[in-house]
Amino acid sequence: MDLLEHEGKRLFAEVGLPVLPSFVARTPEEARRAAEQLGPHVCVKAQAKTGGRGKAGGIRVCGTAAEVETAAADILAMTIRGHAVESVLVERAVDIARELYLAITVSREVRSPLLIFSREGGVDIEELAKRAPEALLRRPIDPLLGLLEYQVRDVVDAAAFGPDDPGGTGAGRTLASVARALWKLYHEHDATLVEVNPLVLTKGGEIVCLDSKVTVDENAFFRHPDVLPEPPEDEREAKARAAGLAFVPLDGDIGVIGNGAGLVMSTIDQIAAAGGKAADFCDIGGGARSEVAQAALEAMFAGPPVAAVLVNIFGGITRCEDVATGLVEAIKAAGVDAPVVVRLDGNAAEEGHAVIEAAALPNVTLALDPDEAVKLVVDIAGKRAAASEPAIAAQPNAEAPGGDA
């Protein structure tokens, strides 16, 4: 789970990382009051779980409380990369001498945390990593040993603070304690990412964490009962998650239900290859029970219109007969009238077919293999979309004559 900048900075402060005085504001009013307390020279920053805030205009430096109020009003009305801005962070501004980069994240390759540092931080860090990989210091951290002192020294050496830098070589000592505190945060809070970009050296010679990017491991929430999991934004996702299903809303019109993440992903790929577009990724796992199938269908139909549904089940240990029984009940209970293509194979597939055939639901079609099932559902969805298209096209003319003039 990603944290907002101000949530990350609260953790920063807890482990002793240097952050600037700030207040979170949810209204322009609150922002102005914050500026009055902090002094007029402040930065107003959109709180959104995405990068590119600066480029989108979500970060403004202000000189008066009135400016802060206007900036906050503008930023609170923004949506950045699909994320509505619900709060701003009003933070005391500083004069920057140098921007550095410091992060710890998990590396799949070395199967351990990896510390990354660069004396040239800022928004172009990825460019730098590509152009001059040697400009970035990388040190794998043995999770059983923690960050070692030589690694901390490597960071300070790479920063190469000289007598011309504000604070001189003394800034190195602060940087060392920042590196140690960042590891402490990463380890103790079960983070999978902690990133400070930029980590700045101010003209006054102080080291300050100007931004925070923190991602915590949802699988470790049992160790952190104080952390509240965030509710999903999408209604379909919320419904499915409540029923214990893995559900990702997509933007097509073919509903997809399957068992196993790989199988569902593969089914969606094949729908795309056949010219269709999936409305969701829904993995019912070993869920043969009718409640699970019903929850999946309900979640699917809570979203934008679905032209057709494909149920693709390979019964390993799961018996297809149980899935079929659950599905038939669910289709009846949820009142699904959209066409449903069902493919059952593996364990008790024949019994499953018999259940579907006996139910004789007019909108349910059995497919014998996955390739046929995909072809069938894409065909049906295509025809339904074509049939409903003239009606949709006619609407603007009927409701708003001359509207496009």
Partner 1 sequence: MSILIDNASRVLVQGITGREGGFHAGRMLASGTNVVAGVTPGHSGETVQGVPVFDSVHEAVAHIRADVALIFVPAPRARDALFEAADAGIKLIVCITEGIPVRDMAEVMAHLPRREARLIGPNCPGLITPARCSAGIMPSEIFMPGAAGVVSRSGTLTYEVVHELTQAGIGQSTAVGMGGDAVHGIGFIECLELFEADRETEGIALIGEIGGDDEERAAQFIRDHMTKPVVAYVAGHSAPPGRRMGHAGAIVEGTSGTAATKQAALEAAGIPVAASPSELARLLGEAIKRRRTT
Catalytic residues: 101, 195
Work out how close the CB of 366 gets to partner 1 at its nearest, in angstroms, rounded to a whole number: 18
- The tokens of 187 are what? 């380890």
Comparison of 217 and 291: residue with beta carbon closer to partner 1: 217
Residue 279 near residue 300, CB atoms below 8 Å: yes
Pick one of 192, 202, 290, 294: the residue that binds partner 1 (CB under 8 A). 192
- The tokens of 69 are what? 């109020």
Collect all residues with Cβ–Cβ distance below 8 Å to 228 and sequence separation of at least 6: none
Residue 207 near residue 174, CB atoms below 8 Å: yes
Residues in region 109-138 near partner 1 by CB under 8 A: 109, 111-114, 116, 125-126, 129-130, 136
- Give the binding range for partner 1 (CB under 8 A) out of 59-67, 104-112, 170-178, 394-402: 104-112
Residues in region 344-383 near partner 1 by CB under 8 A: 345-347, 369-371
Binding letters toward partner 1, positions 304-343, x by CB under 8 A: ----------xxxx--------------------------
Residue 364 near residue 324, CB atoms below 8 Å: no
Pick one of 266, 291, 366, 379: the residue that binds partner 1 (CB under 8 A). 266
Comparison of 34 and 264: residue with beta carbon closer to partner 1: 264
How many other C-beta atoms can be found within 10 angstroms of the C-beta atom of residue 298? 18
Binding letters toward partner 1, positions 43-82, x by CB under 8 A: ------xxx-------------------------------
Interhelix angle 320-334/349-359, rounded to 10 degrees, is 20
Comparison of 108 and 358: residue with beta carbon closer to partner 1: 108
Residue 279 near residue 256, CB atoms below 8 Å: yes
How many other C-beta atoms can be found within 10 angstroms of the C-beta atom of residue 48? 25
Residue 295 near residue 349, CB atoms below 8 Å: no
- Give the binding range for partner 1 (CB under 8 A) out of 187-195, 230-238, 287-295, 303-311: 187-195
Q: How far apart are CA 326 and CA 321, in angstroms?
A: 9
Work out how close the CB of 326 gets to partner 1 at its nearest, in angstroms, rounded to a whole number: 17
Comparison of 77 and 261: residue with beta carbon closer to partner 1: 261
Helix (H) or strand (E) holding 75: helix 65-76
- Give the binding range for partner 1 (CB under 8 A) out of 215-223, 225-233, 376-384, 385-393: 215-223
Q: How far apart are CA 247 and CA 261, in angstroms?
A: 10
Work out how close the CB of 303 gets to partner 1 at its nearest, in angstroms, rounded to a whole number: 15
Residue 176 near residue 149, CB atoms below 8 Å: no
Pick one of 144, 228, 391, 405: the residue that binds partner 1 (CB under 8 A). 144
Work out how close the CB of 355 gets to partner 1 at its nearest, in angstroms, rounded to a whole number: 20
Q: How far apart are CA 15 and CA 183, in angstroms?
A: 10
Work out how close the CB of 105 gets to partner 1 at its nearest, in angstroms, rounded to a whole number: 4
Q: How far apart are CA 360 and CA 383, in angstroms?
A: 23
Comparison of 27 and 50: residue with beta carbon closer to partner 1: 50
Residue 182 near residue 17, CB atoms below 8 Å: yes
- Give the binding range for partner 1 (CB under 8 A) out of 19-27, 55-63, 97-105, 387-395: 97-105
How remote is the C-alpha of 145 from its chain's centroid?
31
Q: How far apart are CA 286 and CA 204, in angstroms?
A: 60
227 near partner 1, rule: CB under 8 A? no
* β-strands 254-258, 308-315 pairing: parallel
Work out how close the CB of 14 gets to partner 1 at its nearest, in angstroms, rounded to a whole number: 18
| Chain contacts with partner 1 (rule: CB under 8 A) | 2, 49-51, 101, 103-109, 111-114, 116, 125-126, 129-130, 136, 142-144, 187, 190, 192-193, 195, 197, 213, 215, 217, 219-220, 222-223, 248, 250, 258-263, 265-266, 268-273, 278, 281, 314-317, 345-347, 369-371
